[in-house]
Amino acid sequence: MKRLSASTIVLITAWCMLLCCLQQLQAQCSLPPGQHTISLPDAVVSPGKTIPIDIIISDSNCRKNILVLPGWNFSRNRWIKETSLWQESAKREYNLILPEMSVTVYESHYYPQTKRKWAKTPGSQWIKQICIPQLQKRGLLLSDQFNVVMGLSTGGRGAVLTALYNKGIFKAAASLSGDFDQTRMKYDKLMTAVYGPYEYYKERWENVDNPFAMIAEWSTPLYLGHGTMDNVVPYEQTKIFYEALKKAKPDITITLNDCTCGHDFSYWESEVVPVLDFFDTIYKKAGSK
C-alpha cells in the first residue's frame, strides 16, 4: 500500500479542520440573543398571507431548541404571557420558537369536504415544508442540534404529529391535554370541519393524522400530561395513548403525568418545569452516548 506523503496528510488535516469550522458556523444562530419576530409564507407556491413566528434566543449556539405549538385559535403569545416557559427555558439555555398556528388541527391534507382551512398549506405540511426549512436557514432546528417540540390542547396533538412527520429533527416531544384518536370523538366539530363527517369518511378518520394508528412508527421519547378533570379534551385520549405506547414501545422513554386539573393555563403552567426537566434528562442521555 502506497504511503501518503507528509504534504498530503497536512492538506487532509487542514480540510478536516475547515469542515469542522464550517459545521460550527452553520450551527450558530443568525439571530442575536433576545426576542425576534419573523414572517413566513403560508404556502410554498403562490403564498397569500404570512405567518408570524416569535423566536426567543437564549443560546446563540443553537444547541437546544424548543418548537412550541399553541392550541386551536390560541395566540402564540399565550405560552409566554400566561406561563413561566420563557423564564424557565432561559435558565436552561433553550431557544423558543413560537409559530402562530391559528385554527389548524395540524392536518396534513385538505379535502373537498374541508370547510375550515387555516392557511393555503395544511398545518403539519406547513411545519414540514416551510417552517422547518426556513428556520434551518437561520441556524435553528438543524438535525445535529437537540430539538424538541411541545404543545398544549390541539397543539399537544400537533407536537406528536410533528415528531412523527419530521423524523431525525426532534429528539423528544411533550404533549399536554392533547387528543390522539379522533375516532373516539366522532362528532368533534373541529375534526369534522377538516376531514368531513365521520360516518361518511371513516377510513380517513382512522388512518390520516391519527397518532393512535401510527404507534408502530413512534421512535421519540415522549412526555404526556393531562388533567383528569378536563372537560374539553377527554383525559382518556392521553391515558389510552400512553398505555398503547408503553405496550408497543417498551424501550422508549414514555412518561405520563396526570392530576385533578382542568383544561386551562393554571394546569399548563404547572407542567412547565416537569416538561423541561424531562427534556433535560433526554438531553443528558443524548450527550452521554
198 HSE (CA, 13 A, CB side): 13
% of the chain beyond a pLDDT of 70: 90
Contacts of 229 (CB under 8 A, 6+ apart): 235, 260, 261, 262
φ, ψ for residue 237, nearest 5 deg: -60, -45
285 HSE (CA, 13 A, CB side): 11
| pLDDT above 90 for 286 | no
User: Cα angle vertex 245, ends 243, 248, to 5°?
Assistant: 110
Q: Using alpha carbons, select from 238, 236, 226 the residue that is nearest to residue 262.
A: 226
| pLDDT above 90 for 44 | no
Q: Using alpha carbons, select from 36, 183, 21, 9 the residue that is nearest to residue 98.
A: 36
- pLDDT at 288 (0 to 100): 52
The CATH class for the domain spanning 31-288 reads: alpha beta
C-beta separation of 29 from 57 below 8 A: yes
C-beta separation of 171 from 162 below 8 A: no
Residue 26 C-alpha cell reads as 452553520
pLDDT category, 15, cuts 50, 70, 90?
Answer: low
| pLDDT above 70 for 213 | yes
Residue 284 CA to residue 16 CA, distance in Å, equals 28
Residue 198 CA to residue 204 CA, distance in Å, equals 8
Q: Using alpha carbons, select from 188, 184, 191, 43 the residue that is nearest to residue 104.
A: 191
| pLDDT above 60 for 10 | no
Residue 156 CA to residue 128 CA, distance in Å, equals 17
- pLDDT at 11 (0 to 100): 52
Beta pairing partners, 182: none
Mean pLDDT of 81-103: 97
| pLDDT above 80 for 7 | no
